[in-house]
């Protein structure tokens, strides 16, 4: 639950010590709406993250609806 709120803070702290680009696996974006996923990605970008991986798997073992997943990654 608290992961998205602290993601930028934690990433920024870690990135300050690393001389290489960093990609972060944000599972399904920690949200069901494309807007919330975009907000998290923007926070991570501001912290210096070079890229994010957004998975299509859900905790119950099913896959995210393809249209919703496409909206999250575009």
% residues pLDDT > 90 (the chain): 15
What is the Cα–Cα distance from 9 to 63, expressed in whole angstroms?
A: 29
Number of domains forming the structure of the chain: 1
pTM beyond 0.75: the answer is no
What is the Cα–Cα distance from 44 to 66, expressed in whole angstroms?
A: 24
Is the pLDDT confidence value at 7 over 70? no
Is the pLDDT confidence value at 1 over 50? no
Q: Residue 20 is part of which domain span?
A: 3-73
């Amino acid at each position: 639950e608290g992961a998205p709120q602290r993601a930028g803070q934690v990433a920024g702290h870690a990135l300050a010590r690393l001389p290489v680009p960093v990609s972060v696996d944000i599972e399904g974006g920690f949200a069901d709406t494309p807007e919330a996923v975009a907000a998290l990605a923007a926070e991570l970008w501001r912290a210096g993250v070079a890229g994010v991986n957004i998975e299509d798997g859900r905790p119950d073992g099913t896959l995210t609806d393809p249209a919703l997943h496409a909206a999250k990654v575009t």
